[in-house]
Structure 1
Amino acid sequence: MQKFLKGKVFARAECNTSHRSVDDTSIYTGQPKSTTRNPKWPEDHNVILGELLMEQYVNGNFYNGNLRKEQWSTLVAALNRRLGSKYTETSVMIRFKNMKADFRALYQLTNCSGWGWDDELHVPVAPDELWDEIVQETYLHNGLSILSAPILVFMLQKFGCSFMSNYLRGVIPDVLCDLVDVQLQVNDAIVELTASILEEDSSSEDEQRIRRPMYDRSYTGHRYVLDVLAGHPGRAYQCFRLPHEAFVSLTDLLVTRGHLRDTKNMLAAEQLAIFLRGVAHAHSYRQLCEFFQHSLETVSRYFNVVLRAIVSFADEFINLPQGDVEYHPFVRSNAQFYPFFKNAIGAIDGTHIPAVVNNNLQNRYRNRKGFTSQNVMAAVSFDRQFVYLATGWEGSAADMRVLRWAAEQGQFTVPRNYYYLVDSGYANTDKLIAPFRGYRYHLADYRRNTSRRYAVQQELFNHRHAQLRNVVERTFGIWRERFQVLTHMRQFPITVQADLVIACAVLHNYIGRYHGHDMYFNMSQTEMEHDNERGEIDMSDKDPNLHTTIGERIQGEVVRHDIATDMWNDRVSIDLSFFLKFQL
């Protein structure tokens, strides 16, 4: 029976006695499970049920203290066949539940109260110290100086607990009365069933119920955070993926805005450290529990508190450009891009973040490379800042479909006379300038053919376009390099996974805006381990023009043709000037 009770809480046995109330009994045995007593079970039926349960246990049909569901019908059929009865599965289940409840109560009373039971005399037994205490209490409060242990045993055996508890109220311990009542309810079938089971389990239930702290390491998470912040600056990068001063200023910002506060058991800095450690190293909740020495509930709660706090900063740190936009210094200072792309304000692309979803959603979230992901659309400025983000889309969705939703329902707007650079997975419009299809447009294509000159103006346009649009690829690479949860997503609800993407973008912009010297922002593209590893997936087989109008495509073609023509003419004039200078 102890095997059957593995992992279960103790429930009290319900005693049909007048001397004990429900609330008093719960002091010894805890809160009961919902059980309904069935008074129609004869003793011989209990014995047969115990034998059949024992057979099922020997055959390995018990799991976690309960008979497997598919075996109940077999057991009930065998019971009715042997007894000629018509018991239902429900009644047999309830009887077995009551048997376990009786055993739980008996076990706790005999092992946790100091009282035992004599099977031969059928009376409670206790150490001499307890009897001496009873006699002393009796003498002081009732004046019965002749009352002793043998007399109490005789009176209990002769008259029973119900009579003795009324006659000597306050003399006999309440737990002793409960012990007698419960022992009478535990039939031989239960004793026979539990005997063989207890032989296999060397550890006692009493030892299993001893409560001790699970996380008792002296080096706590709070001390770890203090050591990191007070140590070498490189430790903050390794642990939290951001500079020491960025960690301190972000903590102050969250506390000042009222999103975080110091609690009795955890400071705001440690709460933020739990979240950053989780997203920076893709740790699970249980890994964070061991690392910071807090319970699973505590780690989960504060992780989500910090997540919601950082997501609430999205409107402040992720903003689309509005109205007249100045030419970006990066474009203006480069003769290859200016004045041709002077009206470009950034680049747009979709990236696939691994997603952990239920089996019924896997087909929707499975992308062309075969893994489940969420398709994230991001608009990035030329200083590698996210200006727009659309998360939570299934991996099978096309990039243009996500962008069309963002423009129609997601409040994504482009200022008049300005545009974003996109790859061939998007349609070419006056707001989205894509490369010419049918010509080289990846930077790698040009690196492999360094000696080849541009054959037509479309190739020159595509090369310059790819060089400028590459800012979004670099941003994704920095993003993934800093936050490994973007490449090794943990098992969160899909809404939490989408929020984690937003939170990582907010942190990325915060660090880039106030701590631009951060080493991740200064990494070269070849140093990025996760760049273009599994995130970028070309959806070119799906026609992006399906989500645009003819008028938008015509206007986009005019803009692109003018840029390509001006760029080619400038290139020809430079080559001609160089040729004439060489001739002279």
Structure 2
Amino acid sequence: MVQIRGKKDERARIEYIERIYNGFSDSCVNYIRMGSGAFVKLASIMRNNSLLKDSRNVTVKEQLIMTLNILGHKSKNRCVRSHFIRSGETVSRYFNKDCIGMIDGTHVDAMLPINLVARFRGHKGVTQNVLAACTPNKLFTYVLAGKYYLCDAGYPTMQGFISPYQGVRYHLKEHSGKTPKNRRKLFNLRHSSLRSKIESVFGTLNNRFKILCAKPHFPFPIQVDIVLACSVLHNFITIVDLSDELLNDDQFNKDIDGEVAFENDTNLVDFTQNQTQREQTESRNEWKTFRDDIAWAIWVDYCDKYNHGVTIET
């Protein structure tokens, strides 16, 4: 009797997976948040590199589908185990495997032991404050020391970080009758154009993987792995599936707000570095000068192209 029930469960499970994978044209995207072609490549990479292996009862394909559904829809263990007719322990085991693991930050809800909550509490509640960098083609990356990041007005200009000019209003379009009138406005415009990439990436990431928008119920190390895994999966989809609908969603490909908040970073102190306040001030001034040099260079180039070389500013 048990054997008969086991065969029925296995047949139902296979049929369910086939409906996801070979059902309607958008079944795969809707269920695991990526197209079938990208999924096949991902499964192949995981299997060929021994990152995942078929177990006696659970194939690599099923392991991935369960995991991607949880990441994409913040599905509960009890729902997934019902869909796949698996025990809760099986679902948990395959989801909690070690994940393969312009600058901006985003906050991802976190759940921590009471003795650690204070470290992660901010104006958005208890969160992981995630700092990320991406390339202009919307791949998450890591920039080594010696490079600089473009960051928004929430960061001061300091060693390795170049923020926009404070309190400088500018227009997002250079050639719509509202052309920039000085180097600072032009710099902020170009800065915004580049930084909009990271805003777009975060929008796509959160829209694809709804687990990042949910209160987590995993141990904190797993919460960190989830963020890393979603970022890696984003990169994978960006590389293998240029037609992915979420990557091409206009909602996440718009320029960010065209005005910079009026803030003053004169008294900001960078507590992440072992420097005196005087040293930090000197370092910020050095990088502000570097920003000025960049602003002047792009202003001269702009005027050469569009203003007959006249660099007078207003």
Scaled to the shorter chain, the TM-score interval is: 0.7 to 0.9
What do the CA deviations read for 1:150-172 (whole angstroms, capped 9, x no partner)? xxxxxxxxxxxxxxxxxxxxxxx
1:266 aligns with one of 58, 81, 103: 58
1:479 aligns with one of 200, 205, 215: 205
Offset, 1:422 = 1.3
Q: Give the direction of change, closer, same or farther, for the CA distance of 1:264–1:283 in structure 2 (3 Å limit).
A: same
Give the aligned partner of residue 381 of structure 1.
135
Letter of the structure 2 residue corresponding to residue 500 of structure 1:
I
1:556 matches 2:287: yes
Q: Give the direction of change, closer, same or farther, for the CA distance of 1:220–1:366 in structure 2 (3 Å limit).
A: farther
Cα distance in 2 for partners of 1:438, 1:563 equals: 18
TM-score (norm. length: structure 2)? 0.80
> What is the RMSD of the two structures over their aligned residues, measured on CA atoms?
3.2
Give the aligned partner of residue 426 of structure 1.
155
Aligned partner of residue 227 in structure 1, secondary structure: helix
Letter of the structure 2 residue corresponding to residue 543 of structure 1:
L
Q: List gaps (5 residues or longer) in structure 2.
A: 257-262, 274-279
Q: Give the direction of change, closer, same or farther, for the CA distance of 1:481–1:540 in structure 2 (3 Å limit).
A: farther
**Contact map agreement 2:108 2:212 (CA 8 A) in 1:** yes
Offset, 1:355 = 1.3
Letter of the structure 2 residue corresponding to residue 274 of structure 1:
M
Q: What is the aligned-residue identity percentage?
A: 32
Aligned partner of residue 57 in structure 2, secondary structure: coil
Aligned partner of residue 221 in structure 2, secondary structure: helix
Give the aligned partner of residue 240 of structure 1.
32
What do the CA deviations read for 1:473-504 (whole angstroms, capped 9, x no partner)? 11111111110001114311111111000010
Q: Give the direction of change, closer, same or farther, for the CA distance of 1:366–1:220 in structure 2 (3 Å limit).
A: farther
What do the CA deviations read for 1:234-293 (whole angstroms, capped 9, x no partner)? 111000001101111211221222232222322221111110010000011112112221
**Contact map agreement 2:103 2:132 (CA 8 A) in 1:** yes
Detail structure 1 runs of 4+ shifted over 6 Å in the superposition: 216-219, 539-542
Aligned partner of residue 372 in structure 1, secondary structure: strand
TM-score (norm. length: structure 1)? 0.45
Aligned partner of residue 258 in structure 1, secondary structure: coil
Q: Give the direction of change, closer, same or farther, for the CA distance of 1:524–1:353 in structure 2 (3 Å limit).
A: same
Q: How does 1:463-502 map to 2 (within 5 A)?
A: 463-502=189-228
Q: How does 1:529-568 map to 2 (within 5 A)?
A: 543=268, 545-547=270-272, 549-568=280-299
Aligned partner of residue 131 in structure 2, secondary structure: strand
Q: Give the direction of change, closer, same or farther, for the CA distance of 1:527–1:219 in structure 2 (3 Å limit).
A: farther
**Contact map agreement 1:282 1:489 (CA 8 A) in 2:** no
What do the CA deviations read for 1:116-166 (whole angstroms, capped 9, x no partner)? xxxxxxxxxxxxxxxxxxxxxxxxxxxxxxxxxxxxxxxxxxxxxxxxxxx
Letter of the structure 1 residue corresponding to residue 144 of structure 2:
T
Aligned residues: 290
Cα distance in 1 for partners of 2:158, 2:199 equals: 21
Offset, 1:544 = 5.2
Letter of the structure 2 residue corresponding to residue 509 of structure 1:
N
Q: Give the direction of change, closer, same or farther, for the CA distance of 1:222–1:527 in structure 2 (3 Å limit).
A: farther
